[in-house]
Structure 1
């Protein structure tokens, strides 16, 4: 293991007014632990995030911006006073532990189920169902399970404008809750992604057809988040150019996402967070494409996708990444930066406790010091 002096993972990085002490990011990961019945962030979640405050930056789990934006059971929202107050407990705990945290703002679009939406159909860019895609719900007895996403309806133009307003208000709510900034979830097949990708959008108005039109919603929401936070630097955008996750596919993703990155650069956002496909036999993201994104977007670039310390160091040294996000390792290793620094063995995570439940599999993973004791 190289020394901190030469290890790029442990060099500071400036993100607007924030100084990150290292280049290690905890990315958004759904854990479904919000208090019921109103999906309110709680003390257990505050403990979970505070345990991981040694990350250079934490991005919260996806938090839905409005009732129609919810797609999974027991996930937190950020649109009621109680939810904002709950998130304030989380941000206070993270800041007290010396950390920095952005809220990931989420509208799932078509990736939902009528049982989560008071009987309403999910909404999307188009009335195209996400065939074979399951969402996490609870039955009448409160038992968790996965069901096929319901058939969506296409949003009217005035409804699109209303959702842009909801994102602006969610950004204001996030700042009121004490977050250091917000990240737009524009990846993994959720609503913004449903406008961007050609095979999920068959609109014939100003929000569909041409690449410029398909990127219009992304641009409008991003501008709303800049207004809601009153700062370009406090806005990040998560994109997933090649993942085809949850049924979103683009006919020419390199062209589409280079244009998206160029647009975000023109808007001046603080960072773009690239989710690389990380499953077996996933499409490879070519180095030339990563360099192309760097050329059209000069802000901070975060990459996530099964990175090891060695792959992360190489990415930083090659210059196409500024920060590296480690997802699953952060689930089971609250002190992940220390473990990476020491070259220590990582705790494995328990798949059965990822979604729903209590402290087990959330806050009970041992840190190095506790394990040694």
Structure 2
């Protein structure tokens, strides 16, 4: 095993490693990774072998489970060894990603073992496995939250969990709840919107929630949906919901996000896209009301993504009708001409047969004041490296 590891991931097999390759465990304890450790399927023997391990600041940990069988994590021996290992490292951890069983164990053991992780700033949960008190007692200083499964396993009371929370990522019901309870949030990234907040009326509700906070960075997914008649016949496709007027979409976002510096819009379609699907998508991203985002003086980075399956024949239709479906060059010109504060545009239209591209506004040097909004400029395509660097910067600018 290398002696200067920064990151290490071991996906399963820890019990077998302890039994058949104990030298690996010895090397891991002697030379732990300096930044990140990801270990899955920890059982009693592995926990015993790792009892003196010093964790790096970023830890992803799961217990040993088999679908359909009793988990080793339910035994008292495993509980004790796991708690001892976490207690020995609690002060060193800055970012944690545990499975549901570990979060439940930490909370249930708190009465007799009041373990606290004072330096954890980033927490990832499958869903809310902790009570409100459990969140604040165990992890009092969380600033960045992520979750990967929709819903709550416990009914959370209204109120603040983490006074310093600035970023929430995950499923819509969780992100919306956190935004409602935490006035300091600045960054909200939705992996989906919950079913009860889809539709024209709910788009307004989401905008109302966004508008109550000083959001600097936001990522929102919206679906193209099929409308049906009363007898079940498909009537056509529309964006978000057939009750939402397209004319109100971009202006609604502009009103809700007056401080935004980073905006990502993901348009999704769940089955094979037809020509109608593509027409709806391009109608959204070329609508004249995109100019309403020009009212956002700090908007520097905008990302547009289409997510879905596009059959080969429909991709060919795109290439055969350049006057009907715009190219990435035409789209970049439209958006930079519409939003004068914009510095970077990301277009991820890979399902349409187009490469993911990044575009940047480049001021003309001989302009009187080249850095002022509205000054003469050209739009240039930039490298993936520059684009991803700009995305990272503007996504998190003001949200650290």
The answer to whether the superposition gives a TM-score over 0.5 is no
The structure with higher relative contact order (CA 8 Å, sep 6+) is 1
Question: TM-score category by the smaller chain?
Answer: 0.3 to 0.5
Higher strand share: 2
TM-score scaled by length of structure 1: 0.34
